[in-house]
Amino acid sequence: MRTIESPAAAAGAGASASAAAAAKRPQAAGGTAFKVLGAISASHLLNDMIQSLMLAAYPIFKGNLQLSFVQLGFVTLAYQLTASLFQPVVGRYTDSRPQPYSLPVAMVFSLVGLLCLSQARTFAALLVAAMLVGTGSSIFHPESSRVARLASGGRHGLAQSIFQVGGNTGSAIGPLLAALIIVPHGQSSIAWFALAAVLATLLLTGVGRWYAGHLVRQRGRQAAAPASDLSRGRVAVTVGLLLVLIFSKYFYLASINNYYTFYLIEKFHLDVPAAQLQLFIFLAAVAAGTLLGGPLGDRIGRKAVIWLSILGVAPFTLALPHVGLGWTTVLSVVIGFVLSSAFSAILVYAQELIPGRIGMVSGLFFGFAFGMSGIGAAALGWLADREGVETVYRICAYLPLLGIVAAWLPSHRPARTSS
């Protein structure tokens, strides 16, 4: 295992220097702070890689602990609900009391959860480990999303896409690393990835230093947040429509993230590493699509991106359960790329809809997305146990049709702001 330790240690030293540099060289006012966006995106990569390792290791947990699909679904539910329930609370609190150094603290929770995952020998221990990782995510996402907006220089969609692509890249890397390291070396090898959590802690300490400096520079000269051009009732209805779209997207993604490897093993008789490679291909497409959604929303409008991303993917999801392995790979790439472009556009749209509540809005939407993923994992696990995993994909194929509700989103264009 020395081959893992040496490059990670070197990367840790480089990350520390990079994070310190980002803290010491703040960008000019009004400019996009790409060094900070790079650091927060890299941290998001490491954070989401940790959580995707847990999902990718499900075949290992299932065999070692003799778990059913329902129990695996409840592991995901424990993680996602812990993450989702706390996020709006954390976001609302930090809207009025920013906590720059909460970011490295969040990663400590994930670090402990990761070590517990490597040693879990019972279903209960696995649930506790998942909840620790979820707590780390609940602290990380609202504040890191705020940092991305602060560093955007007014290019909010681009900044959120850079931030989000880190997370999606981490989610894509997780299954590949699980196939290369965890499958051949066993559950205890998960502990090696604690080095990733240490690296993220170093990066986030540097980001926290920049964030604290930004708060000092902005103190006493904060402009009032612009008012929304919509009535309160219209805002509430619009938020509800956005949450329907989040439900559609993340319930479908729950079917892929949790059960795609089992689907490929059952239908096409792939072995575990080959199935995890297919999951990596899908998640790599998700990462690529995420990078497109934000800047495209800045250019053509968020509503158009949301509409095309969710409803536009429906023909491909409907075809997926009825094709062979080759076309399954092709369709999974198209689905991942198109569907993933929605979240950055939805999040920035919501932040502009309720100005001045960046943390609360980010926490609400990240939290709801996580919650839908968790509920979806549990519900679809029950369905897989009862009717078979192929049935999951035949039913979930219809979820993107809910994208039709995007037709009722108002096409407003708020004034550009730098935060």
Which of residues 301 and 120 earns the better pLDDT score?
A: 120
3-state SS assignment for residue 225: coil
Residues 6 or more apart in contact with residue 246 via CB below 8 angstroms: 343, 346, 365, 368, 369, 372
The pLDDT assigned to 303 comes to 84
Question: In the predicted model, what is the mean pLDDT of residues 216-220?
Answer: 68
Which carries the bigger pLDDT value, residue 154 or residue 202?
A: 202
Q: What is the pLDDT of residues 237-247, one digit of tens each?
A: 999 999 999 99
What's the confidence (pLDDT) of residue 104?
A: 92
Position of tokens 């780390």?
A: 136
Convert the pLDDT of each residue in 141-172 to its tens digit. Answer: 888 888 888 888 888 888 888 888 888 788 77
DSSP H or E stretch at residue 363: helix 358-387
- pLDDT of amino acid 21: 46
Cα gap 283→333, rounded to integer Å: 8
d(CA 206, CA 103): 10
Give the count of alpha carbons within 13 A of 54, CB side only.
33
pLDDT at residue 17 above 80?
A: no
Which helix or strand (DSSP H or E) is residue 17 part of? helix 2-24
pLDDT tier at 116 (50, 70, 90 boundaries)?
Answer: very high
Q: Look up residue 66 and give its amino acid.
A: Q
Pick 367 or 318 by higher pLDDT.
318
Looking at residue 55, its pLDDT comes to 76
For residue 279, the model assigns a pLDDT of 86
Of 205, 136, 169, 119, the residue nearest 285 (C-alpha): 169
> 128 falls in which pLDDT band (50, 70, 90)?
very high
Q: What is the mean pLDDT of the chain?
A: 82
Q: How confident is the model at residue 228 (pLDDT cuts 50, 70, 90)?
A: low
Per-residue model confidence (pLDDT) at position 37: 92
- What pLDDT does residue 227 have? 55
Q: What is the 3-state secondary structure (H, E, C) of 228-275?
A: CCCCHHHHHHHHHHHHHHHHHHHHHHHHHHHHHHHHHHHHHCCCHHHH
What does the pLDDT look like over 307-352, one tens digit per residue?
A: 888 999 999 999 999 999 999 999 999 999 998 888 888 888 888 8
394 band by pLDDT with thresholds 50, 70 and 90: very high
Residue 309 contacts by C-beta under 8 Å, 6 or more apart in sequence? 293, 338, 339, 340, 341, 342, 345, 403
pLDDT at site 315? 95
All structural domains of the chain: 10-218+227-408 (1.20.1250.20)
Q: Which residue has the higher pLDDT, 285 or 30?
A: 285
Assign 125 a pLDDT band (cuts: 50, 70, 90). very high
273 pLDDT above the threshold of 80: yes
Which residues, in sequence order, are CB contacts of 392 under 8 Å at separation 6+? 255, 259, 263, 380, 383, 384
Angle between helices 389-396 and 358-387 (to 10 degrees): 130
**Residue 196 pLDDT more than 80?**
yes
Tell me: pLDDT of 29 over 60: no
377, pLDDT greater than 70:
yes
* pTM score of the predicted model: 0.68
Q: Alpha-carbon distance 189 to 199, whole Å?
A: 18
Long-range contacts of 122-129, Cβ-Cβ distance < 8 Å, separation of 24 or more = 122/65, 123/65, 123/67, 123/71, 123/75, 126/61, 126/65, 126/75, 127/74, 127/75, 127/78, 129/54
